[in-house]
Amino acid sequence: MQWSKWQSTGLHLSPSVLRETLDGGQSFRWRCDKDGIWIGIWGNHIVRVKLNGEGALTYATHIKSTNSATALHRYLGLDTDFSVLADTLPWRSDPHLAKCLAAFPGLRIPRQPFGETLLCFLCSATKQIVQIKEMVSLLAANHGEIIYNAESLTPPANRGGISDPALHFHALPTWEQLAAIPEETLRKCLLGFRARYISASAQYIAARPGWLDETESLPYPAAKDRLLELPGVGAKVADCVLLFGAGKLEAFPVDTWILKAMANRYGLNDWKPVQIVHFGRQHFGPLAGLAQQYLFAYERQQSRQSVA
DNA sequence: AGGCAGGTGGCCA
DNA sequence: TGGCCACCTGCC
């Protein structure tokens, strides 16, 4: 009996909105099995979620995962009514935004651990989501502490000595742990040139105890300035970290998808990323990051459909 | 087979 | 400021 009973989160979502919320490129440590059960790991938490027959989102916590109900509450922002937030976006005067909102009703912005979010987005430069997930998974498997080892129930010795990584749940390495790992070793996690950024950022953070926590607690502009001090963190990564790891909904990350969306849907052809950032925050307002999430989800969906 | 993928940093005018 | 290019690696 590894899991608690299924309990209600109080949320009602469609399968596609759930997928877009957990696995749409904001977080990289959720996996869905063939029965539609999602398993997510963050901090020392291991949680399963699934939709029941009525479309209600339920969760179960792992037996080795303590205080995880509270952690999930925070992670999913269950105190926040995102449909109320979305309603304040300027969809009444923006038909394309209205279409995006209608396509993903109930979409939410997860609130992930700040340091983990930074690590994940340092991996993200010119990589696709599947590859980012692979890098993050390797970082956890190779360098993160074991949260739970199912082999302790059935030791490898009883299974022909075969050790199955799928039976482990690993946390991500902390920044202090990362600082102690040679860059060449990190490269074995398929990080490529990103290993240098992660290694250098780890040195920077490890040399400044409390720096990361302070950064998370600062208002958006000051927090962004601080993140930009880190090697490998530019405007886009900083905005992602603040949006998905610090709940700063005014952050408006501009990546290639948003660039495409703004060109194709808003006629902003040949606009530079800094210009799009300015336009986005101006046009969408204080919750621009939430609008970004809808635009991003919609653009990716359209792209998948045109391929199929 | 060559170009491209959730970018960033450094160097040039 | 604005434009180019290297940086790893895997995948179509």
**Is A109 among the domain residues?**
no
User: Exposed, middle or buried by CB within 10 Å (0-12, 13-18, 19+), for A170?
Assistant: buried
Residue identified by tokens 């996690």 is A189
**Is A132 among the domain residues?**
yes
A301, A208: one domain: no
pLDDT at A151: 72
**Region A95-112 average pLDDT:** 98
A125, A234: one domain: yes
pLDDT at A164: 56
**Is A58 among the domain residues?**
yes
- Sheet with A38-42: list strands edge to edge: A7-12, A56-61, A45-51, A38-42, A30-32
Gap from A80 CA to C9 C1', Å: 40
User: Exposed, middle or buried by CB within 10 Å (0-12, 13-18, 19+), for A165?
Assistant: exposed
**Is A1 among the domain residues?**
no
Is residue A306 pLDDT above 80, yes or no? no
Chain center to CA of A242: 11
Is residue A71 pLDDT above 70, yes or no? yes
pLDDT in tens, A126-176: 999 999 999 999 999 999 999 988 777 666 666 555 555 566 899 999 999
Q: Give dist(CA A19, CA A233) in Å, integer.
A: 27
Protein-contacted positions of strand B (CB under 7 Å): 5-9
A70, A143: one domain: no
Is residue A244 pLDDT above 60, yes or no? yes
Confidence of residue A189 (pLDDT cuts 50, 70, 90): very high
**Is A297 among the domain residues?**
yes
Specify the CATH number for the domain of residue A189. 1.10.340.30
Gap from A283 CA to C12 C1', Å: 37
Residue A210, both tokens:
């409390």
> How many domains is chain A partitioned into structurally?
3
DSSP string, A252-279: ----HHHHHHHHHHH--TT--HHHHHHH
Is residue A1 pLDDT above 70, yes or no? no
**Region A278-302 average pLDDT:** 96
Nearest-nucleotide field for A129 (CA, C1'): B6
A251, A238: one domain: no
- Burial letters A288-303, b for 16+ CB under 10 A, else e: bbbbbbbbbbbbbbee
A118, A162: one domain: yes
What residue is closest to C3 (Cα–C1')? A272
**Is A2 among the domain residues?**
no
Q: Give dist(CA A279, CA A273) in Å, integer.
A: 10
Assign A59 to helix, strand or coil. strand
Task: Domain of residue A131: give its range.
Answer: 114-245
Specify the CATH number for the domain of residue A266. 1.10.1670.10
